[in-house]
Amino acid sequence: MSVIKDLWLFLKQRKKWWLLPVIIVLLLFGLLIVLSSGSAIAPFIYTIF
């Protein structure tokens, strides 16, 4: 939790709000890869990258 808190404080203090969508998209892609790694849709996900 401290990483999330530090990241939030960095974004707030330095006013780097444009980084927030980038971080969210990267987290969603990571979550998609982790959740689909053992499923039947894994070959279709890997073709995206």
Tens digits of per-residue pLDDT, 1-16?
799 899 889 988 998 8
* In the chain, alpha helices (H): 2-14, 19-36, 42-48
Domain boundaries, the chain: 19-49
pTM > 0.85: no
pLDDT of residue 32: 79
pLDDT of residue 30: 85
pLDDT of residue 6: 92
CA distance 40 to 27: 21
| Angle at CA of residue 25, ends 36 and 12, nearest 5° | 140
Tokens 């990483």 sit on residue = 3
Please state whether 18 falls in left (phi above 0), alpha (psi between -120 and 50) or beta: alpha
Average pLDDT over residues 10-37: 87
Mean pLDDT of the chain: 83
